[in-house]
Amino acid sequence: MTTNQLIQNIQKKKSFLCIGLDVDLDKIPPHLLQKEDPIFAFNKAIIDATHQLCVAYKPNTAFYEAYGLKGWKALEKTINYLNENYPEIFTIADAKRGDIGNTSSMYAKAFLEDLGFDSVTVAPYMGKDSVEPFLAFEDKHTILLALTSNEGAFDFQTKTVDGKELYKQVLETSKTWSNSQNLMYVVGATKAEYLADIRKIIPDSFLLVPGVGAQGGNLQEVCKYGMNSNVGLLINSSRGIIYASNKEDFANQARYKALELQQEMEAILHK
């Protein structure tokens, strides 16, 4: 998917919501556990109920790997279901991968080509040759960790590197890499006050913003400091939407939670 297609879809749906498909069998409605593939059954119901309200879905691979082979199979079925039924949806493999060049190429092919995701999240610690293999895929997107939503972000990311915080070094350095037009960045909603500075470095890039809801981030603050003329934001909510209820009506309850966020977004876009 091109960035323009994503922007058009945001305008059409009046939403820049991304729903995190972080499926935990201990949290989904117990009646689904009887199904042949409970993880996929859960995802399919959530997707069918919410796809009109969001522009992106983001399965975090940890939740699928935790179930071994059946988890990996459910991930494949989920991305195939999305690509076949809702091709306008932007898909994100939240995998936080990164390795030396020839090995990163294997990850890039796995997620962007074989599984067919539109994008994948990548960790920056190993530098240029660990990220460029992902950037090489046309009309695909590499979402680089910049400033994450967790407390550990203050261990290294905000430390001063050669006169500038590490996350700013990551932003600036990454702009010099081949095919950097395919970059987006992860910036946690819990760090909204940093967004004004971040926008000075990457005014046009899309930001994937996790941490609204369960982690305490605030949508209004994120938009105030992070929005650009093309919106430029994908706001992720996972637990707050998908675990709204663990009863038979879970998908409907998830839809209500997604609708609340979509309406808040529509009001912001209208301003």
Q: How many residues interact with its own copies (rule CB under 8 A)?
A: 54
Q: Is 139 exposed, middle or buried (0-12, 13-18, 19+ CB in 10 A)?
A: exposed
Distance, CA of 154 to chain centre: 21
| Residue 100 touches its own copies, criterion: CB under 8 A | yes
CA distance 245 to 42: 12
28 vs 268, beta carbon nearer its own copies:
28
| Residue 106 touches its own copies, criterion: CB under 8 A | yes
**244 backbone dihedrals φ, ψ, rounded to 5°:** -60, -30
170 vs 265, beta carbon nearer its own copies:
170
Q: Smallest distance, Å, CB 219 to its own copies?
A: 19
Q: Smallest distance, Å, CB 228 to its own copies?
A: 25
| Residue 99 touches its own copies, criterion: CB under 8 A | yes
Largest Cα separation within the chain, whole Å, is: 57
| Residue 11 touches its own copies, criterion: CB under 8 A | no
CA distance 23 to 94: 13
- 247 catalytically annotated: no
| Residue 107 touches its own copies, criterion: CB under 8 A | yes
Six-digit token string for 101 = 């060049």
- Among candidate residues 164, 169, 180, 162, the one with its CA nearest the CA of residue 125: 169
Six-digit token string for 220 = 């209004």
Q: What is the DSSP letter of 197?
A: H
- Among candidate residues 146, 189, 188, 199, the one with its CA nearest the CA of residue 170: 146
215 vs 245, beta carbon nearer its own copies:
215
Span 117-156, contacts to its own copies by CB under 8 A: 123-131, 145, 148-156
Strand ranges inside 33-180, DSSP E:
56-58, 90-97, 119-122, 141-147, 160-161, 164-165
Q: Smallest distance, Å, CB 217 to its own copies?
A: 12
Six-digit token string for 107 = 């990850």
Q: Which of 96, 109, 128, 224 is catalytic?
A: 96
Span 57-76, contacts to its own copies by CB under 8 A: 60, 62-63, 65-66, 68-69, 72-73, 76
Span 159-178, contacts to its own copies by CB under 8 A: 159-162, 166, 169-170, 173
103 vs 245, beta carbon nearer its own copies:
103
Q: Is 17 exposed, middle or buried (0-12, 13-18, 19+ CB in 10 A)?
A: buried
**186 backbone dihedrals φ, ψ, rounded to 5°:** -90, 125
52 vs 154, beta carbon nearer its own copies:
154
Span 230-259, contacts to its own copies by CB under 8 A: none
71 vs 226, beta carbon nearer its own copies:
71
- 93, 115 Cβ separation under 8 angstroms: yes
Q: Which residues bind its own copies (CB under 8 A)?
A: 22, 60, 62-63, 65-66, 68-69, 72-73, 76, 96-101, 103-104, 106-107, 109-110, 114-115, 123-131, 145, 148-157, 159-162, 166, 169-170, 173, 215
The residues carrying an active-site annotation are 96
